[in-house]
Amino acid sequence: MSEVLTPGATGLTQLETIWRHGLPATLDGAVKPAIEAAAALVAKAAAGDEAVYGVNTGFGKLASVKIPARDVAALQRNLILSHCCGVGEPLDIPTTRLMMVLKLLSLGRGASGVVWPTVALIEGMLDKGVTPVVPDQGSVGASGDLAPLAHMAAAMIGEGEAWHDGERLPGQEALRRAGLEPIVLGPKEGLALINGTQFSTACALVGLWGAWRNAQACIVTAAMSTDAIMGSTAPLVDEIHTLRGHRGQIAVARMQSALMTGSEIRESHREGDTRVQDPYCIRCQAQVSGAAIDLLRRAGEVLEVEANAVTDNPLVLVKEGRIVSGGNFHAEPVGFAADQIALAIAEIGAIAQRRVALMVDPTLSFDLPPFLTPEPGLNSGLMIAEVTTAALMSENKHMANPCTTDSTPTSANQEDHVSMAAHAARRLARMNANLNTILGVEAICAAQGIEFRAPLKTSAPLQAAVARLRNDIPAIEADRYLAPDLQSGVRLIGSGALAEAAGLTMTLDMGDI
């Protein structure tokens, strides 16, 4: 069943559903007249004598070169082929398809000047599973994501490469096998396809959704860790957080408190506990994770706007009867959003890693055995698993440095300030993978710690989380080859299975508060 897109009003939930499940997508048919009106205005300009950027002129620094009417079609084809300069590994298929969906949304606003068959081909490629091979390096996020989007457009004109039925094929052959025909680009169409922020925005959205799952998981693993070390729940008292007022902090404290309600471990030391305060990684979880959640939500708001935006150039203003050159292709909003997501990922991992370190350290973990093994000395337990989390935490800190401040001039100084949004967004996948591991190791450590508290039991939600983990990862009673266990932990976090087992749900629209 194809998802129907409403340009200008498509939400993140629908986009995530399309991405996760590989669904095809089509534009709401009501937008066709606006698209055709813009195309008619472009055709009129192409037939005229006046120089109109992107229609009958060169591009970038060559914008002053007038192109004869007989060469307009060749101009667009040459644009695509010359801009296919991407390098690196192919972008994964789900994210590439999301990029195509975002391009549909942009074209669907009726300000790009493409003809309807161009839109229909993108819809057909999504429906028939023809996915362009798009190298993931080469964009500086300036005049849009030129190189990545050129590789998408190349497949549409029967050039480049595309995936179909699991095979990597020449673009024309992939279209043929799917029963589709390549298009011949009309005036401005090549520029409409490659100008835009859809590569950066797609990568940033995937990074956002991965970070959001990690944020949910960290609430569960933090609660498990708190019980494992017999930490105090006094810092979760609701009034503490409402007095400060940050919505993410309030939500995290409430969710963690609910997760721990009914824990026999907690009740066993509610009275007579000699510790005055727990370390910050326990006491300040709501403040840190809550701030990260607020940051992710703000980034989500920006990316939802951008997903629905018209970001090519020039823009066709049908009501005014004009084609106007502007700068909507500059991906600064996407770069800023991606930089914020990176900060949230790094900080969630930083505080989670300190909880791992706390649990394996016998001087801090309140009577848990060293490195959470029953026979320390003979066994090293989770000693090096903690070191791995430290390595990944540090790597994420390095990658969290801002990308948007790293502008460099390109295109003979015509594009003299660029956003680096593609860099900012691409790194999020690796950062999320690192955080999956950190939280997976934390869950493994916390489960060990909770089980060392037997016969006392943790709360029902956390018992369910431990049981789900134990389906995949047996208790570590003696040293064994741990790499597969860590990979299982990664899957539990990345899939959302651990949070689901604990009954935790949290939405980007603040509906849980």
Q: Which domains does the chain have, with CATH numbers?
A: 3-196 (1.10.275.10), 204-289+353-501 (1.20.200.10)
Alpha-carbon Rg for the chain in angstroms: 26
Of the given ranges (46-50, 249-253, 328-332, 452-456), which has the lowest mean pLDDT?
46-50
Taking a C-beta distance cutoff of 8 angstroms, is the pair 106, 310 a contact? yes
- Distance of alpha carbon 302 from the chain centroid: 13
Q: Could you read off the pLDDT of 203-230 as tens digits, one per residue?
A: 999 999 999 999 999 999 999 999 999 9
Helices (H), 60-195: 72-83, 93-107, 116-128, 146-156, 171-177, 189-194
45 Ramachandran zone, left/alpha/beta (phi>0; psi -120 to 50): alpha
Report pLDDT for 61.
Answer: 67
Q: Could you read off the pLDDT of 89-122 as tens digits, one per residue?
A: 999 999 999 999 999 999 999 999 999 999 999 9
Cα dist. 452→265, 354, 445, 467, 477 in Å?
Answer: 11, 20, 11, 15, 11
Does the predicted TM-score (pTM) go above 0.75? yes
| Residue 511 reports pLDDT greater than 70 | no
d(CA 394, CA 453) in angstroms, rounded, equals 31
* Helix/strand/coil for 4: strand
Report pLDDT for 409.
Answer: 85
Which residues participate in catalysis according to the annotation? 53
- The chain-wide mean pLDDT, for the chain, equals 94
Beta bridge partners of 163: 131, 168
d(CA 272, CA 111) in angstroms, rounded, equals 69
pLDDT band, residue 355 (cuts 50/70/90): very high
pLDDT band, residue 66 (cuts 50/70/90): confident
pLDDT band, residue 143 (cuts 50/70/90): confident
- Residue 95: name the closest of 124, 50, 131, 53 by CA: 131
d(CA 218, CA 214) in angstroms, rounded, equals 6
